Amino acid sequence: MMSAAITTRPPTAPVPHAPAAGGTRRRSRLRTRLELALLLTPALVLFTGFVLVPIGVAVVYSLYSWNGFGPLTDFVGLQNYVDAFSGDVFQGAIGHNLLIATLSIIVQLPLSIGLALLLNRKLRGRTFLRMVVFAPYVLSEAVTAVIWLLMLQPGGFVDEILRGVGLGGFVRLWLADPSIVLYTLFVVITWKYIGFGVILLLAGLQGVPPELREAAALDGASAWQTTRHVVIPLLGPTIRIWIFLSVIGSLQLFDLVWIMTLGGPANASTTMATYLVDHGFKRYEFGFGSAVAVILFIICFVFALLYQRFALRRDTQGALTGVR
């Protein structure tokens, strides 16, 4: 794609008065092309082979009823897509993903900002506290899931802690009650990923010039006003990129749910990705599974494009959108 873009560039206008310079330019153009070819080819080959082609192949599979064995013969058109969207389990799964995404933004974001502001202040044991907040993020998702699965069993660690501090009345069947399980998972997700948001925002806070705070203070702004009107607006780009990562992560949520609940009980915590694995691999319905994968891909892709276009435009100008 890149080499095509280069060849379609309008030919350099002839420079009649400087033939020598024209030669240099031609040589340097050749060099640029060589450099581009050299640097881009490996990445392009890998990207094409491992991303674009599989997506294309998945689209083809999704049009067949196919259990993974033998040739593709049973063409069903868009039936797999119709089946997916008309099934209440998959509808539920989309709803669960959206709920997790929404909760992430309205719960995790303020929490991350608060923690980041706190940890940005000079306080005793700051490095230690930062480490504590960040530690869960370093754990693998599978390890996190197994630890919490064990702690959340009835009469397990979490229940004992609650009873120990006199909150025994709040004890629930965390993973077994269909009306609670998704929120339980959300708490675990928050525990795991809050550190990432905090680190990102702490980095963003380093970019807030101290002079601006001082100026605001001199103008008589309270601490709250300084934070609200100076610091948070300057954190905008960081917040926007965090929302982007968080929503994409929520849409693709898999490992944690798969290990902790397998999407149960009674599909109360199924996500699009667990549904995909359940139906694609466990049931040997690779055609249908591919259709679900394509749906998941399209949802993420459309969100990514729209978000880039409308929310991230200013932040990424020049980097992703090209110089105009």
Partner 1 sequence: MRSKKPLALFAAAALALAGCGGGGDASTEGPVTLTWWHNRTTEPMKSKWQQIADDFHKTHPNTSFTVEPLQNEQFQTKVPLALQGNTPPDLFQQWGGGALADQMKSGKIADITQASSGWIGPLGKYADGWKVGGKQFGVPYQMHAVGFWYRKDLFATAGITSPPTTLDELNAAVAKLKTAGIVPIALGGKDRWPDAFYFGYFAVRQCSVDALKKAVEKTELTDPCFTKAGENLKAFLDTKPFQDGFVGTPAQQGAGSSAGLLANAKAAMELQGDWEPDVMRALTEDKDLDSKLGWFPFPSVPGGQGDPTVLLGGGDGFSCTTRAAKACGEFLEHLVGDEVQKILAETGSGLPVRESAVASLKTETHKQISEAMNKASHLQFYFDTAFPTNVGQALNDAIANFFAGQGGPDTIVQSVSKAAAGNK
Footprint of partner 1 on this chain (CB under 8 A)? Answer: 65, 67-70, 73-74, 83-84, 87, 146, 149-150, 152-156, 173-178, 181, 261-262, 264-268, 278-279, 281-286, 288
What the block records as the tokens of 281 is 């691999």
We find the least distance from the C-beta atom of residue 72 to partner 1, in angstroms, to be 10
Q: How many residues does this entry show for the chain?
A: 324
Residues paired with 64 in a beta bridge: 75
Torsion of CA 315, 319, 323, 324, to 10 degrees: -40
We find the least distance from the C-beta atom of residue 153 to partner 1, in angstroms, to be 3
We find the least distance from the C-beta atom of residue 180 to partner 1, in angstroms, to be 10
3-class state of residue 15 by DSSP: coil
- 257 burial (CB, 10 Å; 0-12 / 13-18 / 19+) is buried
We find the least distance from the C-beta atom of residue 273 to partner 1, in angstroms, to be 15
DSSP 64: B
What the block records as the tokens of 266 is 């009674």
What the block records as the tokens of 236 is 């905008």
User: Of 35 and 74, which has the nearer Cβ to partner 1?
Assistant: 74
User: Of 58 and 119, which has the nearer Cβ to partner 1?
Assistant: 58
Ranges of H-type helices in 174-280: 181-206, 210-218, 223-226, 232-234, 236-251, 255-260, 272-277
User: Of 249 and 265, which has the nearer Cβ to partner 1?
Assistant: 265
User: Of 72 and 302, which has the nearer Cβ to partner 1?
Assistant: 72
User: Of 146 and 320, which has the nearer Cβ to partner 1?
Assistant: 146
What the block records as the tokens of 230 is 């100076």
We find the least distance from the C-beta atom of residue 59 to partner 1, in angstroms, to be 18
